[in-house]
A and B are shown apart, each in its own frame.
Chain A
Amino acid sequence: MNEIRSISAKQVGRDVPRLESRQKVTGRAEYTHNITLPGMLYAKLCRSTVAHGRILSIDVSAARDLPGVHAVYTGETIRTLIAEPYFGPAFHDQPILAIGKVHFVGEPIAVVLAADPYVAAEAAQMIVAEYEELPAVFDEVEAMTSAAIVHETLKPAGTFADLKHLSGKSNTNVALDYQLRRGDTDAAFAAAEHVFEHEFHTQQVMHTPLEPMVSIAEPGDNCLTIYTASQSPSFVCTEIARLFGWRENQVRVKVPYLGGGFGAKLYIKLEALVAAAAMLARRPVKLSLTMEEQFYTITKHASTFRIKSAVNKDGRITARRCEIFWNGGAFADIGPRVTQKSGFTSPGPYDIDNVSVDSYALYTNRPPAGALRGFGIPQLVWAYESHTDLLARGIGMDAVEFRRRNLLREGRPQATGTLMHDAAIIEVLDKTAELMNWTAPFERGEGVIRRGRAIAIGFKAVVAPTTSGAIVNLSADGSAALYMSTVDMGQGSDTAMAQIVAETLGLVAERVKVVHPDTDVTPYDMATLGSRSTFHMGNAVKLASLHALEQLGAMAREVGLPEGTNYEIRDIFLKKYGMQAGNIIGVGSYVPPYTSPQKGTGLSDNVTPFWMVGAAGVELSVDTETGHVTIDRLINVADVGRPLNPAIVATQLSGAAMMQLGFTLFENMDLDHGQVTNASLADYKIPGMHDLPTVMDNVIVDNNQQNGPYGAKGVGETATFGVSPAIANAIEDAVGVRLTSLPLTPESVLRGIRALRGEKLEG
C-alpha cells in the first residue's frame, strides 16, 4: 500500500471518529483522578466562612492532633517557603492560602494533609478561624464607588503592558478600565432620528466540568512534577517556576485527558497549593475538589451592560455607546483580559461609524470569575442582540432586515478599525433566516399557549497574540507522533490535529499518535482556551508537518530518488540507513501578526487573526398561565471556516448551545451575603437530556479562513453566542414581555405577562 500518495488530501474534512473513544468507553483513558503515587498524602481545605474579613486567628491544634493527620498549613506556613505566595495570570492577587484577610466565602485558609482523605476532611472541619468582619461589596456597579475595597493595592502581574498603569493603585475595585473611542458619538447622538437606551444583566454561573479540579505534586531534588487536570500546562510551569524562583526546567507539568474544562481549569488553580504543600511535606500531595468546592473556585462573570444606540430614518445605526461592568469576584483571574478582549466587540457585528466603549473589570467579595466558553462574549451578545431587536421593533422594521442593513461586510472596519476578513456574517444571518423560513407566516399558538420566534447573531475575535508550538516525529517505519501541549478535554483536539498531520504527510489520521502535554517533552502552548487551538496549534502542527515533509524530500534526494517519488517513507529511510533506523523531527511554531491597540482609543489595524460568527434561531411556546417556556426549535448556524472534522464540529455546536441554554433559562448561583446557597448539583441545575429543544439543528455555512490550517478556525464557543438573546427576543415575540436579566425563569415570564395586564403576583 502506498500511503504517501493515495490517502493524501482525504484526511481533513472527514468525520474521523475520536481517537480516544474506545479508551474512554472501556474505562482505560487516563485521568488525573486515577493517579496515585507511593507515599502520597491527600489534601483537604478549610475555607473562609465570611465574605470579607481580617483574620484574627486560625487555630489548627485540634486538626493537627487528630490521629492520622500528617500536617496542617496556613498562609503563614506557605510564607516560610515562598516569600510572596500570590499568583494569577493578570494580577498577582491570589494567595496560595489566605494571608492577613479573606476576600470571599469559600477562600482557602488552611490545608490538612493525611494519608487517608477522610481523616484529612474531618480534620479540616476542626480548624477554627476568627475574623474581624469588614464591609463587603457584591454588586459590580456598586463596586465602582463602594467604600468596601476588596484589595488594598492592585498588583498587576507585569506580563501585560496595558495593565502597567494600574500597578500600585489603591482604594479602588477597578482592576481594569478599558476604553475604545471611534468617530464622534456625541455629535451622532445629537443628530439622531431615534435614540434607544437599555440595561441588561447576567447572573453568576459555573463551568461545572463533571470531572472536578484535581492536581498532584511530586517533589524531587530541587524539582517538582505536577500531574494536573489543567487547560494550560505551559502556564502552570512558568507560574510555579516564578513562585519558587526556579528555572522552568525544574518544573514538569503533565496533563492526561480532562473530563471537561470550559475555562475552569485555566492558568493555575490548585497547582500552586499542591506544589507548596508537597515541598513542605516532602511527600507527593493530591488535592481533588468535590463538586461542591468548585463553586468556590472559578465562575463566570455576572455583568451589567448599559447600551445606547442612535438610529437614522433608513434604519442605520449611526452611533453606539457601551458601558460594561464585569463582576470579577475576589481575584482578577483572567477577568481583565475578558474586559478588554471581549470589550472591543461589545458594539456587535455591526458597521457603526461612531462608537464608544467603556468596559470595567471589578473586584467584589464573590467567588472569583474567569473565562467560560466564550470569554465574555455571551454576556455581550445577550445585551446587544436583545437591544438590536428592540431597535428594530422601535422603528417598526423586520428584525432580520434591520440586521442585514447594519451588519459588517467583508473589508469594512470593525469598531477597532480592523478590516473584516473571512467572517461570513451575512451568510450566517441569511442561512438562519432561510432555515427558519422567516418570510413565511408563523403559527402563533392557541388557548393558553402563545408561540414566538426570533434570531440573534454574534461574533468574537480570537484572543491575540498567542503562541503555539508543535513537534512531529516521523519514525523510520513511516509512522508519526505529534507532540503538543493542546489539552484534549473532550472537544476532540487530538483527532483534529492528527488529521492535520495526516493530511500534510499523506498518512491515515487514525494511525497518528498524539503525545499528551508534558512540559519536559511537548513544546510551549499558550493554553487550550478561547477557541484558539484549531487555528494556532493547527497552524503550528501543519508547519511542523511541512518541516518534516521537507526533510523527507531532502532525504529522498540524498538517496538519489527523483522529485515526486512514490517510494514509501520507510523505503526512503531504509535506503538512507540500510536498516529500519533514524527519524525526522519536524518543528513548527506559530504566532499570528498583531497590532496593539492604541492607548485611550483602543484602535488597531490588526486586532485579531480571525473572527468567529454564530447565530441562533429560536421558535418557542409560552404557557401564559405559568410562564413556562418550551423551546420548540433551536437552530445554531456557525462560520467555522472549513470544518476539519464536520461530526466533531456539530457536537461542539450542539454542546455549546445546550450549555448556553442552561445559562439562559435556569442556571444561577444563589448568593446570600456572599455565601453560595446552592453549591451542589442537587440545587444548582444544569441541563439534562430532557431539556433539549424539541428540534435542534446545527449548521455550518460555507467559508474558508484563508490564514487557517486547511481553511479552518475555532468552533468551541461559537454556538453560545446567540442563544440567550434569541430566546428573550422570541419570548417578546410570543407574549410581548421583554426580559433584561438572565436567567429567563418561568416566574419572570409570568410576572411580565401580569405586568402587561397591569396586575402583580400577589404576595
Chain B
Amino acid sequence: MRGFEFLRPGTLNEASALLATGDAAARPFAGGTGLMLMMKTGVFSPSRLVCLRQTEAEHRAITPTGDGGARIGALASLSQIEHDPLLCRLAPVIARTMTTLANVRVRNVARIGGTLAHGDPHMDMPPTLAALRASVVTSGTASRTVPVEALYAGYYETILQPGELISAVLLPDQTGWHSVYLKCTTRSADDWPALGVAVSVRMDGTTITDSRVIISAATEKLTRVAAAEAVLNGATAGLAAFTAAGEAARAVETIEDARGSAAYKTELVGVYVRRALQQATGAGGN
C-alpha cells in the first residue's frame, strides 16, 4: 500500500478546499469504517484523506428545528443517533433499525454523514431516512438541500460534487406518520440484505393521506416507488390496498447477486412492501 496524506482541518470549509483538487483519490474521512474496508481490499487507494473529526464540536449536535423536526449534524455517530431522546421520540424507527445495523463497535465510530455519502445500496439508514422524508444539507462552494432519495446517482455513486460535504441531515415533523423498515436477509442473519423496504404512511382515520415507499439493496440504488405510493394515497388502509401497493412495487428493477436472482427479489419486494405496510399501520393483518 502506497503512502497517503492524512489531513485534519478544523472546519468543513477548509476540508472542502482541501478536497476540491480534482483528484478522485482525495476523499473525506468521517468514521472511516466504510473507507477502511475499501482500502483493505484494494478497491480504493487514497492519495489524500481529509479527516472531518476536528469539526465535531460544531457538527455533531442533534437539535430540534422548531417546526417539530430535528437537525442532525453530519458528524453525529450512529450510536449517538440510536440513543438520542429527541430522535427516539420523533422517529423510533431509527433506533429500531440500528439494532441490526452492523455492530456496536461500528455504530460507535460511523458518522451519519459518512453513512449517507457511502452510496452502498445495501445500507439501512438511507432507506429509513428517505422514508422519513429527510434531506441532507451540504456545504462547499454551492450549499444545497437535497432529499435523501435524490442523493444517489448509482451503485456507490452520489450526486455530491468534489469538495461538497454533507454538513447535516434535516428530519421533518413526523406527526401522523407511521414508519417501518424491514431488512430481508437470505443467508446469515448478519448478511447484507437482499432487500430493504422502508415505508411511511400518514393516516387520517383509516384513510391513507400520504405515503413513502422506498426500496433498497435489491436495486442498483435506493429507489422511491411512486407507483406504490399512488396506489396507497387516498386508499383505505387494509390488506387490499397493501397488496396492491406490493404489486405496484414489483415494477422496480431488481438485480441478481449471491443473495438471490432478480426474479426472487421481485417476489420479496411484493411480500415485504405489503408486510411493511401492515406493520406500520397495524391494519390488514400481519
Contact = CB atoms under 8 A, between A and B. Distances in A.
A745 B259 CA distance: 9
Interface string B258-272: 101111101110010
Interface in B228-283: 258, 260-264, 266-268, 271
B177 interface: no
B263 A763 contact: yes
Contacts of B191: 666, 685
A594 B8 CA distance: 70
A450 to B, nearest CB: 15
A625 interface: yes
Given A666-B188, A685-B191, A687-B188, 8 more contacts: A125-B42, A665-B187, A670-B258, A680-B41, A691-B188, A691-B189, A747-B261, A761-B267
Contacts of B1: 118, 121-122
A686 B188 contact: yes
Interface in B179-213: 184, 186-192
A745 B191 CA distance: 14
A626 B188 contact: no
A762 B266 contact: yes
B271 A625 contact: yes
B186 A666 contact: yes
B160 interface: no
User: A interface, by DSSP: helix, strand, loop or mixed?
Assistant: loop
25 contacts: A118-B1, A122-B1, A125-B42, A625-B267, A626-B271, A668-B258, A678-B258, A682-B37, A685-B187, A685-B191, A688-B188, A688-B190, A690-B188, A746-B186, A746-B260, A747-B261, A747-B264, A750-B264, A761-B263, A761-B264, A761-B266, A762-B266, A763-B261, A763-B263, A763-B266
Contacts of B41: 292, 680
A30 interface: no
B105 interface: no
Nearest to A747: B264
A401 interface: no
Contacts of A85: none
A142 interface: no
The size class of the interface chain A forms with chain B is: 20 to 34
Contacts of A193: none
B2 interface: yes
Contacts of A745: 186-187, 260
Interface of A: 118, 121-122, 125, 292, 625-626, 628, 662, 665-666, 668, 670, 677-678, 680, 682-683, 685-688, 690-691, 745-747, 750-751, 761-763
Given A625-B271, A626-B271, A668-B258, A685 B190 contact: yes
B258 A683 contact: yes
A200 to B, nearest CB: 21
Interface in B29-71: 37, 41-42
A144 to B, nearest CB: 28
Counting from the closest, the 10 A-B pairs by CB-CB distance are A763-B263, A690-B189, A666-B187, A685-B188, A761-B263, A747-B264, A685-B187, A118-B1, A625-B271, A685-B191
Given A122-B2, A746-B186, A682 B263 contact: no
Nearest to B266: A763
A118 B42 CA distance: 12
The winner among B184, B191, B192, B262 for most chain A CB atoms within 10 A is: B191
Contacts of A665: 187
Contacts of A662: 188
Given A118-B1, A122-B1, A626-B271, A761 B188 contact: no
Contacts of A751: 264
A665 B42 CA distance: 30
Nearest to A628: B186
A122 B42 CA distance: 10
A533 B184 CA distance: 42
B276 to A, nearest CB: 13
A609 B187 CA distance: 39
A703 to B, nearest CB: 35
B215 to A, nearest CB: 15
B261 A761 contact: yes
A750 B186 CA distance: 12
A690 B188 CA distance: 8
A626 B184 CA distance: 10
A125 B1 CA distance: 10
B189 A626 contact: no
The winner among B37, B189, B262 for most chain A CB atoms within 10 A is: B189
Contacts of B190: 685, 688, 690
Contacts of A670: 258
B186 A763 contact: no
A682 B267 contact: no
Contacts of B271: 625-626
Contact of A682 (B2, B186, B192, B260): B192
Contacts of B262: 763
Given A121-B1, A122-B2, A626-B271, A688 B263 contact: no
Contacts of B268: 626
